[in-house]
Amino acid sequence: MGGKLHDILHSDRDLKEIQRWLFSLLPLGVAFAFFFIFMLPLDIEQKDVILLTGGAAGFAGLEAYWVYRGWQRNEGVTIVLGLVGIALTALLVWGYTYHFGHILREIYERMPRGG
């Protein structure tokens, strides 16, 4: 294990890694667009929470893939960025679910409807 840790801490990162990461977001975006379109006509309570957790699950899964990829390629920065992405996603879901969601739903309900 000491050899693996040494390799991770002293490796060079591939310069095209950011391009690969951005390109990997494309299928996730397409999948979320279909999920969003499917959810729009449904009349269910707290649809916003379902959309948020669905998107967050997809993004956290993608970040987990990048942690695994960084581990396999001995790229410490990729591992750290993947873990930070997962932590920020969890923080966003937690913040919305327990603090900001009800505020935004109340604002949305008070908005005038066109018609």
Instruction: Supply the pLDDT for residue 89.
Output: 95
Mean pLDDT of 55-69: 91
The structural domains of the chain, with segments of one domain joined by +, span 2-110
Instruction: Select, from the ranges 9-13, 20-24, 90-94, the one with the highest average predicted confidence (pLDDT).
Output: 90-94
Per-residue pLDDT tens over the stretch 69-83:
889 988 888 888 899
Per-residue pLDDT tens over the stretch 24-43:
888 888 988 898 899 888 88
User: What percentage of residues in the chain have a pLDDT greater than 70?
Assistant: 94
In this structure, what token pair is assigned to residue 14?
A: 């591939």
Closest by Cα among 89, 72, 70 to 80: 70
Sign of CA dihedral 9, 10, 14, 15: positive
Give the predicted TM-score (pTM) of the model: 0.74
Distance CA 44, CA 2 (A): 52
Strand segments, DSSP code E, in the chain are none
In this structure, what token pair is assigned to residue 24?
A: 């990997």
Sign of CA dihedral 86, 87, 92, 96: positive
Decide if pLDDT at 88 tops 80.
yes
